Amino acid sequence: MYFGKFENFARIIRDHYAIGIALNRQGINAYRLKDYAKALSFHMGYLDMLSEDYSFVTNYNVGVCLRHLGRYKEAIQYFEQSKHWAEIWHVR
């Protein structure tokens, strides 16, 4: 709930960085509540805001949500994108 209000305020002041943080946190909260479709929606919204080269964590989060929803082929694509960007940024 807090991050929903935070997101609304961030949109009012057009702070894209803060909007992204709010979307990510709402996605994580929905995931913890096992609402994978809602979590996916938040993570996809965040992914749409990111430049591709910073998206390895969010691609991973999207893949995890898709996996829980039984959308395995789509999940693999997002895991592969996550791996691609993590390798570029030397994330281990």
CATH code, domain with 49: 1.25.40.10
- Stretch 62-83: mean pLDDT, rounded? 97
**Residue 58 pLDDT exceeds 80:** yes
C-alpha 54/C-alpha 17 separation (Å) is: 12
What residues make up the domain containing 81? 2-88
C-alpha 65/C-alpha 53 separation (Å) is: 21
**Residue 3 pLDDT exceeds 70:** yes
27-45: pLDDT as tens digits: 999 999 999 999 999 999 9
**Residue 92 pLDDT exceeds 70:** no
Task: Count up the domains in the chain and report the number.
Answer: 1
| pTM, rounded to two decimals | 0.84
Residues in the chain, overall count: 92
